[in-house]
Structure 1
């Protein structure tokens, strides 16, 4: 069941063509709510809106906001032209998109005639927060190379929810965005990861691709019960199609949970038990010796060395790269200074790929 409440829009904090950040009066209590324009149309001050308030009432950190279901003062809307593929399928808020694969698409034959990714480098990460440091480092080293972001449907489904991507696009650091599965709102919409990769190479003309879920992640403290497990399938997809995959390991020495200390058990599960194809595992050896030794032991104990290619590389300029583009980062509530290894791991992968492209 979902929890629903009626409220009145009191203020529009910010908005763009896809999303509005609103303050809504719920029985005299002013609370924050997001409105996805593709779903419920544009809201204005004074409108009566029905909201899904479930996450806030459960005190969830991930997705912990109200979301507008419908606008009682703007209840009707009309189709946009084109598109026959549905996302959020078989739900009351299913939406149609212009998918690159469908027969009416100008890109249909491009998808149909695809042959090979031709060693396109693809970085695969788990948390959405690893995207800004990757982009900042990659663009510093390769300012003229085309970088494309593919968003999975493992967390937030509307790309519009990501402030990171909005900022990176506005700064000209990402050339294109692609959403697949039930994720929506990218520059290009795709049915699955395979056609998303084809779109990145053949339509966006990417020199490099970064793939990660949107904001948020579902985790349960169990080996297989986390939404980032799809990284294993993505590695296989990249390798099956002739690309070159690089996993961005989830690394932290600030997380109080032992299972996420050093190299996260999420990354270990992906590499040991889920991915069938060999991938490149980039480890930043710019950390202090004790931390590096712990990660070496973790890789050895899980037999990762025999299954995948381990690349040790040193990169210590993450903070400079972020400051260069005036980018702020935060993950699990922690800033760069509070959890630097997490962000450094992402930058290190970007540096390895960028330097290879410049050879």
Structure 2
């Protein structure tokens, strides 16, 4: 199931918080590949180090995951971490399982705050299918605000598990667009760790003191071309969690004007399934007022989605004036499924519309 390779580090190519990309020479194949090391997990290789690589995604030519991953530096193992609190194991029972301090566990300084916590006190939770929607949602949140809201990002485990894989999160944090990130489920590496989406939302509200949460899976959406076989079904479950905890669930629509696949044109079937079938609670549905035939398609699909839920989803039409300019201020390059803002503007405008609507609900 894993394709293994051994190689030698030639040089460092790039680095960001928690991750370093290297050029690694595979002697047996006489080629150089891009390889990513999560430094908190495997240590930090240097030029000349022999490394063991997992090349499964690279060999299959996958987009988001198309890198070799450093599994170990066998001749120079990292030192053991300092003894400390924390017994929450993530990526459990895999060869790279890691132990972290959960915000909600007994040894945490936040345990007393979270032990009986049962509400996020009306906090809006904007749920998106794709990780690429996160900066666009936040751009919309900031577009009309006199003062930018405190935004926390909650990363679920449907995509990448290490948050260090996301340069988006690193850049959003550096730019001050988020006050912190919480990794939940099997995902790890956030400013706070939590056992599940529920405690992650509570930690974002009560520990990070967020005004708004944006929640999505990490990079690397998994889909099989079937009605139910995609990792984004968890978006519906996240709306349920937000409602149960007394939050305001907001369903950010996945929209495309450029996807060649019919099931993703206009409002993606991912949104229609997750919000229409998996979510079981009332939620706000911001609908972008797009122009032309695409706008007509999205309008019809949104009406069908609301009707199918018996009005459980509350439709809110959102004007888009000024949102493209807001998106252009993003500190993060906007890219979804290989397409940038110019190639698939509707995708980012729909996410920004969810942010603009949510900003209007803040007191």
Q: TM-score range by the shorter chain?
A: over 0.9
Q: Is the 8 A contact 2:232 2:270 kept in 1?
A: yes
Q: Is the 8 A contact 1:14 1:20 kept in 2?
A: yes
Question: Considering only aligned residues, what root-mean-square deviation do their CA atoms show, in Å?
Answer: 1.5
Q: C-alpha deviations, 1:280-317, integer Å up to 9, x for none? A: 111011x1143232223223444246231011111232
Q: Residue in 2 aligned with 1:77?
A: 79
Q: Residue in 1 aligned with 2:328?
A: 323
Q: Is the 8 A contact 2:17 2:164 kept in 1?
A: no
Gaps of 5+ in 1: none
Correspondence for 1:99 among 102, 110, 115: 102
Q: Residue in 1 aligned with 2:56?
A: 54
Shift of residue 273 of structure 1?
Answer: 1.3
Please, which moves more after superposition, 340-349 or 301-310?
301-310
Q: Is the 8 A contact 2:143 2:323 kept in 1?
A: no
Q: Is the 8 A contact 2:140 2:354 kept in 1?
A: no
CA distance in 1, matches of 2:108, 2:223: 37
Q: Residue in 1 aligned with 2:296?
A: 293
Q: Is the 8 A contact 1:194 1:237 kept in 2?
A: yes
Partner of 2:250: helix, strand, or coil? strand
Q: Give 4+ residue runs of structure 1 displaced > 6 Å after superposition.
A: none
Q: Residue in 1 aligned with 2:347?
A: 342
Q: Indicate whether 1:241 and 2:229 are aligned.
A: no
Q: Is the 8 A contact 1:247 1:280 kept in 2?
A: yes
CA distance in 2, matches of 1:133, 1:299: 20
Structure 1 pair 132–96 and aligned structure 2 pair: CA distance change class (3 A): same
Q: C-alpha deviations, 1:30-75, integer Å up to 9, x for none? A: 1100001122111111100000011111122231110011002322
Q: Is the 8 A contact 2:104 2:111 kept in 1?
A: yes
Shift of residue 77 of structure 1?
Answer: 2.5
Correspondence for 1:131 among 129, 134, 142: 134
CA distance in 2, matches of 1:11, 1:46: 8
CA distance in 2, matches of 1:244, 1:60: 36
Q: Is the 8 A contact 1:159 1:183 kept in 2?
A: yes
Q: Is the 8 A contact 1:20 1:35 kept in 2?
A: yes
Q: C-alpha deviations, 1:141-175, integer Å up to 9, x for none? A: 33342110000100011111111111111111111
Gaps of 5+ in 2: none
